[in-house]
A and B are shown apart, each in its own frame.
Chain A
Amino acid sequence: MNKAISRVFVVGVLLFVALIVNLTVLQVIRADELAQRPENKRQLAQEQRIKRGAILAYDGSPIARSVRRSGFYHRRYPQGTFAPQLVGYDSVRYGRSGIEKEMNDELLGTAPELGVQSWLDQLLGRRPTGADVLTTLVPDVQRAAQQALAGKTGAIVALDPATGAVLAGASAPAYDPRKLEEQWADLSSDEGAPLLNRGMQGLYAPGSSFKVVTAAGALDAGTVTPETAFVDTGTFVIYGGKVTNYGGAVYGPHDFETALTQSINTTFGKVGDKLGRKRLVAAMRAFGFWEVPPLGLPSGAVVASGRYDGEGLLSPEAKMDPLAVAWAACGQEQVLATPLQMALVTSAVANGGAVMTPYVVQEVRAPGGRIVEAAEPAEWLTAIRPGTALTLNQMMRRVVTTGTGTGAAIEGVEVAGKTGTAERGDGTNLAWFIGFAPAGDPRVAVAVVVEETMSTGGAAAAPLAADVMRAALAQAALP
């Protein structure tokens, strides 16, 4: 009998060993995996009990901050609708987006770089306190951009060309973050896509604003100079097709600079043809096309510009016939760009040819005010030679003084820019303006796109750019 009892005991102990092994699997080996499961809402529910850090505008005013109500913290938005698609939301039901998502660890106070204080908190079982995130968004500039777009559909991105700081990122239509949860169903099904951040996610045919890229490539390669002579007959026949001017205009004999200021398609078609596919694509890549600009937002929140077909981004090596190259040189064909990308193009011209790494987070401030992370401006790409940049700068000034972009002029300040009008095929246009000011010492670069307008880039987009640049130049200090 004792032998049998011992055997039963051994079997029992083995069962307990199995329990311990299984428990080890749950609490050690699979602990992270279980914590990450979407069914597991423990983390989110607990995080609502942490005082989440505030997201601040560049002047320190809060865009989003947390207040305590019955043991839980809730997001408040003192400035109402303020770059909601860029700042993002923080919702137990709908998750997180934008800066709220990207900077979540810092905002919750759990990021390792917050250091000893939060580790001690953990040891003592204290809840961490979130760090504040200071953004580069300048309230006056952001508001000017939002007001400029009021009632329209489109986007405005304003950058500091010397640093890459995002001064404003407006996308219209927008939404009121205070009512996000109650209006979620409408917002997510609205045809105007108010949740979409058009400035960084919207892909548009850049139209003639893209001629800056073509000109940059051609000038840099020495294919043309501003004085190179052309004759326009209203059409440029190539490869069994033709390139025509907007509105059927005929310009006659002119130089390359005039081709840019008057936005002459036939001439840019010829320049594109002379440059060829390889050099045109190389010029685009030098400005950042085919790459996701490293803005520091969650994956998918910023998209790459380039040539697209119905399936998505085409390879830069994809074949193009000469007609396609000629139209692509005019910003048509299958070229698509985000307003952010076009803002990077214009800021590279403003910044002597260097594309700065764009950023929207200026500082992370630990509770108590210690700065634990600060943005350091860095060059992302070298797009063109400084000499080419200067030449283009001067050509773009003439667009605003005598060309299609006079609507962007600001009194007492020299403005440089380029308009764009892309026909959408449904009778409406896409109006573009990209530019910077002051032209001699650029402090702000801007890209404006307005959807569904009957008007041109010069009429519908340039004045909006002027408003935003005026607001930026009125600032004593910019990031």
Chain B
Amino acid sequence: MSRRTTELLYLVLAGAVSTMAYVSVYAGRYREIHRATIVYGLVFVAIFLVLHIVVRVFLSRADPYLLPVTALLAAIGLTEIFRIRPALALLQGQWLLVGALLFVLTVVIVRDHTRLDRYRYLIGALGLALLVATIVAGTTVNGAKLWIHAFGMSIQPSEFAKLAIVVFLAGYLDDKKVLLSVPTRHLLGVPVPAAKYFGPLVLMWGLTLVMLVFMKDFGMSLLFMAVFVALLYMATNRIVYVVAGGALFAAAAGLAIWLVPHVGDRFSVWLDPWSKADTTGYQLLQSLFTIADGGVLGSGFGRGFLLYTSRQPVVPDLQTDFIFAAIANEMGLLGAVAVILCFVLFFWRGARIATQAPDGFSKLLAAGLATAFALQTFIILGGVTRLIPLTGLTLPFVSYGGSSITANLVLVALLLMVSHRTNVVRAGTDVERRRLAELG
């Protein structure tokens, strides 16, 4: 069976499962099964079929599992969003459409991701510009400055900046990896590379600090720093960067807990939510109660106690950052673990694409994207389950949020491109190789 047929098969499976989930929620809400529900389900399947065809035409040798996993996660997200606030599900559907369009544009325009390496400084600058724009023109929501309002929409630029920074770092680190792994000087007995190569790294650390202090965005800044440290380690194979990076971020985080009240609150709530049950700890506790209530088997799609009769969700921000609480409640431990395993599957395919890629840039790009994806998932899931302090991040593909789903669909497109190129280089036909060479 060809990769694409496998992909199609799993897509159809994901489509069928998600249509069932959707119908179940609809029936639970309106006590009937309406024709429109089937139509919505079909529109959703159609979007992913179009993506499948685009992949079939342009990236025929790409990994067959990423797209179905994406579809399944998006379907679960849409279903739960519909469950919580039906009006938002339609908006999210439109964002999915926009994301699909961006996916297609990325594939059609870029074609070969190695071409991005040439523009790495431009892309890096673009990512930086997005973050600076957020600091300058952003509005503050829930204490953190993450949003830019433009053209009547709210955009969360850090989601896109995340991609740009990974592309830049992959190119930059691949270029400088030898220099970075050979220490030329010693500082306090620790071998360190030359300052001119180390400089951009300090800049990167500075960037995360700025994000922390000015945007008060603990989640994104943790994500940026962790991805950066992971990429450094993967490029140089030197554990000292992990230790140093960890120490630097810990120092920054410690300072932020002291100095930035918003970040300090989050930390103290994590330590003891019970004494603040009616104020800052309310949201986290409601999340824990809602998750615990799901038990092993869950209350069932559309059957959980997630809304008060006023239609207010029982956990504030349930449809965005806390969507996993709704999933754990309605799908239970088994369903929630299955969703986590979907993320692990995605991460595994991403890491596999990275290890199989023939060149350093491709390796680092795929590994960076997969790591960013996995870490973002871990940070928000760990936050809503009180494993780590809560920091506002979206759950990729699942949470309500246009920027998140569009940016992550572009992330899938990039991973598929790396995978396709790898397989062409390794086992492609002469025609495929020639076509790839022409692109370069």
Interface residues of A (CB under 8 A from B): 1-9, 12-13, 15-16, 18-20, 22-24, 26-28, 30-31, 34-35, 37, 39-40, 42, 45-46, 70-72, 125
Contact = CB atoms under 8 A, between A and B. Distances in A.
Nearest to B343: A16
Contacts of B340: 16, 19-20, 23
A22 B355 CA distance: 30
Given A20-B340, A42-B314, A27 B347 contact: no
Contacts of A24: 333
Interface stretch (B5-13, B58-66, B160-168, B294-302): B294-302
Contacts of A72: 309
Given A26-B292, A39-B277, A45 B385 contact: no
Given A8-B367, A13-B344, A34-B288, A19 B385 contact: yes
Contacts of B370: 9
Nearest to A27: B333
B333 to A, nearest CB: 4
Contacts of A13: 344, 347-348
Contacts, number: 120
A26 B360 contact: no
A27 B371 contact: no
Given A16-B343, A42-B305, A71-B309, A9 B348 contact: yes
B353 to A, nearest CB: 10
A4 B242 CA distance: 12
B234 A31 contact: no
Contacts of A70: 309
B237 A23 contact: no
A424 to B, nearest CB: 44
A20 B274 contact: no
B344 A4 contact: no
A5 B354 contact: yes
B381 A5 contact: no
A28 B360 CA distance: 45
B146 interface: no
Contact of A28 (B234, B285, B295): B295
23 contacts: A4-B237, A5-B234, A5-B354, A6-B355, A8-B234, A8-B351, A8-B367, A9-B370, A12-B347, A13-B348, A15-B382, A16-B344, A16-B347, A20-B340, A26-B385, A27-B292, A27-B294, A27-B333, A28-B333, A35-B289, A35-B292, A39-B274, A42-B305
Interface string B235-271: 1010000000000000000000000000000000000
A1 B237 contact: yes
Contacts of A19: 340, 378, 381-382, 385, 387
B81 interface: no
A27 B351 CA distance: 30
Contacts of B385: 19, 22-23, 26
Interface in B365-382: 367, 370-371, 374-375, 378, 381-382
Minimum-distance CB pairs A-B, first 4: A34-B292, A9-B351, A39-B277, A4-B234
A368 to B, nearest CB: 23
Given A1-B363, A27-B333, 12 more contacts: A6-B351, A8-B230, A8-B367, A9-B348, A12-B371, A18-B382, A26-B385, A27-B296, A42-B305, A46-B305, A71-B309, A125-B299
Interface of B: 230, 233-235, 237, 274, 277, 285, 288-296, 299-300, 303, 305, 308-309, 314, 328, 332-333, 336-337, 340, 343-344, 347-348, 351, 354-355, 360, 363-364, 367, 370-371, 374-375, 378, 381-382, 385-387
Contacts of A40: 285, 289
Contacts of A125: 299-300, 303
Q: Main secondary structure on chain B at its contact with chain A? A: helix
Contacts of A3: 237
A12 B371 CA distance: 8
Contacts of B233: 4, 7-8
A129 to B, nearest CB: 17
B288 A26 contact: yes
A31 B292 contact: yes
A126 B360 CA distance: 58
Contacts of B288: 26, 34
Contacts of A42: 289-290, 293, 305, 314
A15 B378 contact: yes
Given A12-B374, A26-B385, A31-B295, A1 B360 contact: yes
A27 B309 CA distance: 25
Contacts of A2: 355, 363
A40 B291 CA distance: 12
A28 to B, nearest CB: 6
Nearest to A15: B378
A169 B364 CA distance: 80
A23 B296 contact: no
A22 B343 CA distance: 17
Nearest to A2: B355
Nearest to B299: A125
A34 B337 contact: no
Q: Which of B233, B308, B344, B360 has the most CB of A within 10 A?
A: B344
A45 B308 contact: yes
A121 to B, nearest CB: 12
A15 B378 CA distance: 7
Contact of A5 (B308, B344, B363): B363
